[in-house]
Structure 1
């Protein structure tokens, strides 16, 4: 059971770090780069990336997998000193998922539903997208995931420290 507990905590930490990294790349490179483009390029590039990231590997393993493995690590470590850290990490990851599903995904979907950038009013669609709102909530989910990653890292440290004690 100890091996499964440690493995689930390690996987939760890695997946959480992966998701934090994806959000951070959006915040630090992707969205600032797109902000400098014309409306048609913005819509074309953003929707292409959004369609590409909605895949089983990222959604199933990374996005939801981080939450599932964090829950599993907590359940398997109910009597461990690391449990409070894992529990808060779970809550932060859940907040990130809720923000994504409540804010970012609806904005993404509305832009995709507008249609082909060659046939729509790209200026109106980009304005309706509300880049500022999307970026603000992306920062929220970025920081919740970074916090979760840090807490899971601390939980791993505590787990290793407990294992090393006689």
Structure 2
């Protein structure tokens, strides 16, 4: 069959593209689950016991460092794009049994994505906007306004949703393998 872009796809080639999309979605979603999990079980508990100056300086440094092309492509945006592609490639295919798993992973990742934009980014940006910790006169007030408890609580949601999305995508790969074999 000839597509609008003029490339010929037969059943095998489409299956290969779907498998690659599923692999990329699984890998990037797994990376995001690990990233959110690392914050949940190591970074935030470690920073919780730090003094206000150390907490603010460390969190600001981490937040500045995370905004980079590698993180955006290999995880945060990559997971969304690859999972959406895997879901779309399962529509109307002979392997439609993949669709609920890929779509479920997409919905779960969207929850984490929206949570990041709606909750975490505003909190992170407000902490950065406070300026360098050496120039902040009320470190305790800035830290309290950051609302660590809220940040952590919503991060647990991101950790859970991306972890379950990862499982859904891994199961999609198992099903893809069974259907191809």
TM-score range, shorter chain: over 0.9
What is the TM-score normalised by the length of structure 1? Answer: 0.97
1:95 aligned to 100, 111, 122, which one? 111
- Once the two structures are superposed, residues 46-97 of structure 1 have per-residue CA deviations (whole angstroms, 9 ceiling, x without a partner) of 1100100011111233101101001111111212211110001000001100
Q: Which runs of 4+ in 1 moved over 2 A?
A: none
* 1-structure distance, mates of 2:69, 2:157: 24
**Is residue 62 from structure 1 mapped to residue 78 from structure 2 by the alignment?**
no
SS at match of 1:82: helix
Secondary structure at the aligned position of 2:133 is classed as coil
How many Å separate the matches in 1 of 2:142 and 2:73? 30
Max radius of gyration: which structure?
Answer: 2
TM-score for the superposition, normalised by structure 2: 0.89
| In the alignment, structure 1 residue 154 sits paired with structure 2 residue 154 | no
**Which runs of 5 or more residues in structure 2 are unaligned?**
1-13
Q: Structure 1 CA distance, aligned partners of 2:147 and 2:73?
A: 27
Aligned residues: 164
SS in structure 2 at match of 1:118:
helix
CA RMSD of aligned residues (A): 0.7
Q: How does 1:82-121 map to 2 (within 5 A)?
A: 82-120=98-136, 121=138
- 2 CA distance for matches of 1:124 and 1:9? 45
